[in-house]
Amino acid sequence: MNFNFDQIIDRKGSSCIKYDGMGKFLGADDALPMWVADMDFLTPKYITDAIIKRAEHGVFGYPMREESYFTSLIGWLMRRHQWEVMRDWLTFCPGVVPAVNLSVLAFTKPGDKIIAQPPVYFPFFAAVTDHKRELVYNQLIMKNGRLCMDFENLEKLAKEGAKMLILSNPHNPGGSVWAREELMQMAEICLKHNVLIISDEIHCDLIYKPFKHIPVASLSQEISLQTITTVAPSKTFNLSGLSTSSVIIENDSLRRKFNATLDHLHIGGGNLFGNIASEEAYLHGDTYVDELMAYLMLNIETLEEYVATNLPKIKVIRPESTFLVWLDCREMGLNDNDLNDFFLLKAKVGLNPGIMFGPGGDGFMRMNIGCPKATLLQGLGQIKEAFDGK
Q: What is the pLDDT of residues 196-219, one digit of tens each?
A: 999 999 999 999 999 999 999 999
The answer to the question of residue 231 being in a domain is yes
Domain-ending residue, one of 284, 306, 327: 284
Q: What is the pLDDT of residues 143-171, one digit of tens each?
A: 999 999 999 999 999 999 999 999 999 99
Average pLDDT value over all residues in the chain? 97
User: 3-state class of 147 per DSSP?
Assistant: strand
Q: What pLDDT score does 390 carry? A: 61
**Dmax over Cα atoms in the chain, in whole Å?**
62
Amino acid in the structure at residue 375: T
Q: Are residues 98 and 242 in the same domain?
A: yes
Q: What is the pLDDT of residues 257-272, one digit of tens each?
A: 999 999 999 999 999 9
The answer to the question of residue 138 being in a domain is yes
Tell me the CA distances in angstroms from 46 to 11, 279, 309, one per residue in order: 20, 11, 40
The answer to the question of residue 102 being in a domain is yes
CA–CA distance, 200 with 180 (Å, rounded to integer): 16
The answer to the question of residue 11 being in a domain is no
The answer to the question of residue 6 being in a domain is no
**Which residues span the domain enclosing 229?**
61-284
CATH code assigned at 128? 3.40.640.10
CA–CA distance, 238 with 220 (Å, rounded to integer): 31
Contact indicator for 118, 137 with CB cutoff of 8 Å = yes
Q: Are residues 330 and 299 in the same domain?
A: yes
Beta pairing class for 32-33 and 141-143: unpaired
Q: Are residues 277 and 292 in the same domain?
A: no
Q: Are residues 67 and 213 in the same domain?
A: yes
Q: What pLDDT score does 5 carry? A: 98
Q: What pLDDT score does 50 carry? A: 98
Q: What pLDDT score does 114 carry? A: 99
CA angle in degrees (0–180, nearest 5) for 295-148-164: 105
What's the mean pLDDT in 365-375? 98
CATH code assigned at 290? 3.90.1150.10
Please tell me whether the peptide bond between 33 and the residue prior to it is cis, using omega within 30 degrees of 0.
no
What's the mean pLDDT in 174-181? 98
Burial class (CB in 10 A: 0-12, 13-18, 19+), 117: buried
Tell me the CA distances in angstroms from 387 to 144, 253, 383, one per residue in order: 27, 56, 6
The answer to the question of residue 12 being in a domain is no
Q: Are residues 202 and 351 in the same domain?
A: no
Q: Are residues 172 and 309 in the same domain?
A: no
CA–CA distance, 236 with 369 (Å, rounded to integer): 13
Q: What is the pLDDT of residues 211-260, one digit of tens each?
A: 999 999 999 999 999 999 999 999 999 999 999 999 999 999 999 999 99
Domain-ending residue, one of 222, 252, 284: 284
What percentage of the chain has pLDDT greater than the value 70? 100
Tell me the CA distances in angstroms from 339 to 93, 215, 336, one per residue in order: 37, 36, 5
Contact indicator for 320, 147 with CB cutoff of 8 Å = no
Closest CA to 65 of 94, 86, 96: 94
Q: Are residues 108 and 209 in the same domain?
A: yes
pLDDT at 1 over 90: no
Q: What is the pLDDT of residues 14-28, one digit of tens each?
A: 999 999 999 999 999
Instruction: Kindly list the strands in the beta sheet with 164-168, ordered across the sheet, starting from the edge strand earlier in the chain.
Output: 90-93, 245-248, 227-231, 196-200, 164-168, 113-116, 134-137
Q: Are residues 272 and 307 in the same domain?
A: no
CA–CA distance, 363 with 343 (Å, rounded to integer): 12
Please tell me whether the peptide bond between 119 and the residue prior to it is cis, using omega within 30 degrees of 0.
yes
Q: Are residues 125 and 234 in the same domain?
A: yes
CA–CA distance, 127 with 122 (Å, rounded to integer): 9
Q: In total, how many domains does the chain have?
A: 2
DSSP conformational letter for 211: -
User: 3-state class of 338 per DSSP?
Assistant: helix
Q: Are residues 274 and 299 in the same domain?
A: no
Tell me the CA distances in angstroms from 330 to 14, 63, 228, 327, 361, one per residue in order: 35, 50, 36, 9, 10
The answer to the question of residue 366 being in a domain is yes
User: 3-state class of 242 per DSSP?
Assistant: helix
Closest CA to 277 of 88, 108, 27, 73: 73
The answer to the question of residue 323 being in a domain is yes
Q: What is the pLDDT of residues 271-329, one digit of tens each?
A: 999 999 999 999 999 999 999 999 999 999 999 999 999 999 999 999 999 999 999 99
Contact indicator for 3, 292 with CB cutoff of 8 Å = yes
Q: Are residues 229 and 199 in the same domain?
A: yes
Amino acid in the structure at residue 348: K
Q: Are residues 235 and 362 in the same domain?
A: no
Domain-ending residue, one of 217, 249, 284: 284
CA–CA distance, 370 with 368 (Å, rounded to integer): 6
What's the mean pLDDT in 176-185? 98
Q: What pLDDT score does 101 carry? A: 98
